[in-house]
Every structure is written in structure tokens, then in C-alpha cells.
């Protein structure tokens, strides 16, 4: 039967072959036919080539792997070939792909490594690790794609070591991103930051900047101590440390950020520190009165409308008479008027049960003076509920 299919496929008119190939792929049984499909990927007819390439994702085998890899170099066939290499599961396919990941030209090897990562083939980890030491930068970058997806904590120290030795800024960034991705898959706080902490003291300024980004993504007490200590260094390391603290995953650096927001010599650093400080207030675990005071302090330190808006958004989360009073003066500030009215109305609704008189007064002001018609109507509805 398969011989008959093969003969029919060989003599079928070009306009019929694509449907014939698709039917074979749909059957999913191409034993004895795969070689014919492999050959049709080079057919003069574009539709036939496309159908054959797509079919190999379903009915290809190890002999199809080099055929598909060769097609990755042609922009016209790259997409379909990539899809088929991602889908193909015939006998010996993984072994063939692993072999191709370590042979051939840079473009082909890089593509195969990336596809193995997309497939989630953990068998390819040794190939990824080997490729990380390759002299070709493109192959190293492909290896990082694989390690980012499938790497384990065992890869953290080699990655950190590469951050110290590489001179390529883009590669250093990807090394850091890969470290972060792997470390975040681990619940062991100490183990996931150990490699970055170990290599940090001996790093160049550029390496320290990247390791700080890794540590700030992971958090933890030991990492916080090192990053805070890096503030004492100058230039890029100081700036990176402040940026890392502003992006810290917990509110632990709030005190340091508050100081930097007031005292750092660089305006952009002050702004970044203040934004980080404001972001952390509501998640800090402080009691509401302390949060309100923190927002008040932040508003006083703000040099731009952007940070005032950010603080007003945070105050809107705290339903208290104190937060209402802090927002009130900003109702007349043209730069933040809209955000102030939004916060004012929201806080007023929140305190309508405990402080109905203050809430009514605030909601009436919103209903009478807000420029946003929808906000006016919301305030009027809230007033009706209080009455």
C-alpha cells in the first residue's frame, strides 16, 4: 500500500501533490514515505515544497532533521522549517538534533540549539553548557537561550564566571537575565544568590552592574547587604545599586531609598529612589497612619508631577481622614489635578461609613468641581448612598 502511495505521489500533477501530502500527514503514518517527502522539500513548485516541509513536522524522522535544518537558511522556508523542527517526534529525531547542535556552521547550530530549548529537551543541557564556552559569540548567545529555558542551579556559577570574563555588553546582559531566570525557579534563597554574591567582589564595574541587576531581581537579606554596600562605590556601580534597590522585590530598602531621594547628588538617582520608595509604601506592612505620613513625606520630596501622581495613587488606597487632608491641597494643582480628584473621591467613599460628614463634604466638592463628568456622577451616586 505504501509503495502505491509513493508511486502515486511521484507521478501526481503538481496541483494535486499539496493535498496528497497533507492527507498523508493527517494520517500520521508515513513509514516508507518519509524519504519521498524529504525530497519534495526541494520540488520546483512552491506549494509542493511548502506542503512537504509542513508535513515533516508530523511524519518526519531522523533523516528529515538535516533536510529541515538546511531549509532554515532560506527566509522563504525558515518559518515552516522551524515549526516542523519544533513539532517533529519521529524515531531518532532528538539524537539527530543533538548531533547537529554540535556540528556545522554557526547559523545552523544556533538555530538548532534555540529549537531544542523551545522543545524543552532537557537532554540538550550538556550541549548548551558546552556551547557556552564556544569561541563564537552567536553560539554562546544561543546557548544562553537554552539555559534560560532549561538551566538548573548548577549553571549559576559558570554563568556568573562568564559575566566576569566577557567583554561583550549584550552577552553580559543575557548572562544576567539567564541567571535570574534559573534562580527564580529555585525556592532556596541562599543557593540562588550564592554565585552572584561570590563573584561580586572581584568583578569589574560592568560586571558588578550586571550582578546587581541579578541580585535585585532575587532579593534576600544577604543580597540586600551587598547591594546597599555598593552604594559606596562611584559611577555606574553606585547608580546600578540605587536602581536595584528601587526595584527590590520587598520593601526592605525603604529607609535607604528615602535618604537617597533627599540627598543623592544626581537628580535622576533622586527621582528613581523616590519612585521606588513610593512604590513600596503600601506593601510595607506599616500601619495606615505611618503609610499616610510616608506618602506625605514623598509628596514633599517630589520634584516632578510624575512622582506626585504616583503618591496620590498610593494615598487613594488608604481610606482615612488623614489621607483625605493630604490630598486636598492638590485639588488646585494644575499639574496633578485630575489624579488628586480621583484620589479624593475614592478616599471619601472609603470613609463614608466612619466619617460621613467629612465624606459628604469631599464628595460634594468632587461633584461640583471635578472636570471629569464620570467622576462627578460617581461622587453624586456616593452622596445619595450616604443620605
User: Is 6's pLDDT higher than 60?
Assistant: no
Q: For residue 282, count other CB atoms closer than 10 A to its CB.
A: 19
Based on the number of CB atoms within 10 Å of its own CB, is 329 exposed (0-12), middle (13-18) or buried (19 or more)?
Answer: exposed
* Percent over 90 (pLDDT), the chain: 82
Contact 52, 41 (CB under 8 A): yes
Residue carrying the nine cell digits 487613594:
316
Confidence at residue 1, expressed as pLDDT on a 0 to 100 scale? 46
Classify each residue of 110-140 as buried b or exposed e, where b means 16 or more C-beta atoms within 10 Å of its C-beta. Answer: bbbbbbbbebebeebbebbbebbebeeeebb
pLDDT tens digits for range 59-94: 889 999 999 999 999 999 999 999 999 999 878 999
Dihedral angle of Cα 234, 236, 241, 243, to the nearest 10 degrees: 130
pLDDT value at residue 81: 95
* Phi, then psi, of 247 in degrees rounded to 5: -105, 10
Let me know if 35 is exposed, middle or buried by CB neighbors in 10 A (0-12, 13-18, 19+).
middle
Domain ranges across the chain: 1-100
Q: What's the CA gap between 177 and 180, in Å, rounded? A: 5
Over residues 357-372, the pLDDT tens digits come to 999 999 999 999 999 9
What's the pLDDT score for residue 12? 66
Picking from 191, 190, 197, 232, the residue whose alpha carbon sits closest to that of residue 211 is 197
pLDDT at 22: 83
Give the dihedral of Cα atoms 15, 16, 20, 23; nearest 10 deg. 80
User: Which of 53, 8, 63, 54 is closest to 31 using CA atoms?
Assistant: 63
CATH (residue range 1-100): 1.25.10.10
pLDDT tens readout for residues 275-325: 999 999 999 999 999 999 999 999 999 999 999 999 999 999 999 999 999
d(CA 151, CA 183): 9
The confidence band for 386, taking pLDDT boundaries of 50, 70 and 90, is: confident
SS3 content of the chain, % helix, strand, coil (to 5): 75, 0, 25
pTM of the model: 0.85
Per-residue cell: 329: 491641597
Residue 370 corresponds to which cell in the numbers above? 471635578
In percent, the amount of the chain with pLDDT more than 70 equals 95
pLDDT digits (tens, 9 = 90+) for 223-250: 999 999 999 998 999 999 999 999 999 9
Higher model confidence: residue 26 or residue 209? Answer: 209
Grid look-up 556552521 returns 105
Mean pLDDT for the chain? 92
Unique residue bearing C-alpha cell 572581584: 202
User: Mean pLDDT, to the nearest integer, of 126-151?
Assistant: 95
Amino acid at each position: 500500500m505504501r509503495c502505491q502511495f509513493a508511486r502515486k505521489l511521484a507521478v501526481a500533477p503538481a496541483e494535486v501533490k499539496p493535498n496528497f501530502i497533507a492527507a498523508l500527514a493527517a494520517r500520521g503514518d508515513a513509514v516508507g514515505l518519509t524519504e519521498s517527502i524529504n525530497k519534495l522539500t526541494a520540488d520546483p513548485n512552491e506549494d509542493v515544497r511548502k506542503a512537504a516541509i509542513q508535513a515533516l513536522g508530523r511524519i518526519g524522522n531522523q533523516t528529515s532533521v538535516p533536510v529541515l535544518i538546511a531549509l532554515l537558511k532560506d527566509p522563504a522556508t525558515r518559518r515552516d522549517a522551524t515549526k516542523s523542527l519544533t513539532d517533529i517526534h519521529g524515531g531518532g529525531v532528538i539524537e539527530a538534533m543533538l548531533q547537529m547542535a554540535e556540528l556545522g556552521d554557526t547559523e545552523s547550530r544556533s538555530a538548532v540549539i534555540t529549537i531544542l530549548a523551545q522543545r524543552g529537551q532537557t537532554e540538550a543541557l550538556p550541549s548548551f553548557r558546552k556551547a557556552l564556552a564556544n569561541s563564537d559569540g552567536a553560539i554562546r548567545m544561543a546557548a544562553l537561550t537554552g539555559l534560560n529555558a532549561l538551566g538548573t542551579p548548577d549553571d549559576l556559577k559558570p554563568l556568573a564566571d562568564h559575566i566576569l570574563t566577557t567583554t561583550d555588553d549584550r552577552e553580559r546582559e543575557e548572562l544576567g537575565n539567564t541567571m535570574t531566570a534559573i534562580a527564580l525557579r529555585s525556592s532556596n534563597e541562599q543557593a540562588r544568590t550564592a554565585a552572584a554574591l561570590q563573584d561580586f567582589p572581584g568583578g569589574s564595574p560592568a560586571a558588578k552592574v550586571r550582578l546587581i541587576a541579578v541580585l535585585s531581581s532575587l532579593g534576600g537579606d544577604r543580597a540586600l547587604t551587598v547591594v546597599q554596600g555598593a552604594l559606596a562605590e562611584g559611577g555606574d556601580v553606585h547608580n546600578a545599586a540605587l536602581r536595584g534597590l528601587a526595584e527590590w522585590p520587598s520593601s526592605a530598602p525603604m529607609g535607604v531609598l528615602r535618604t537617597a531621594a533627599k540627598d543623592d547628588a544626581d537628580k535622576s538617582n533622586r527621582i528613581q529612589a523616590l519612585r521606588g520608595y513610593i512604590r513600596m509604601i503600601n506593601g510595607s506592612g506599616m500601619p495606615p497612619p505611618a503609610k499616610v505620613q510616608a506618602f506625605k513625606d514623598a509628596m514633599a520630596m517630589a520634584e516632578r508631577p510624575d512622582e506626585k501622581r504616583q503618591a496620590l495613587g498610593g494615598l487613594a488606597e488608604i481610606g482615612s481622614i488623614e489621607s483625605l487632608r493630604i490630598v486636598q491641597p492638590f485639588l488646585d494643582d494644575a499639574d496633578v489635578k485630575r489624579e488628586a480628584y480621583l484620589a479624593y473621591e475614592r478616599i471619601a467613599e472609603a470613609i463614608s461609613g466612619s466619617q460621613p460628614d467629612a465624606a459628604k463634604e469631599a464628595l460634594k466638592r468632587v461633584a461640583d468641581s471635578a472636570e471629569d463628568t464620570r467622576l462627578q456622577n460617581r461622587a453624586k451616586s456616593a452622596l445619595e448612598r450616604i443620605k
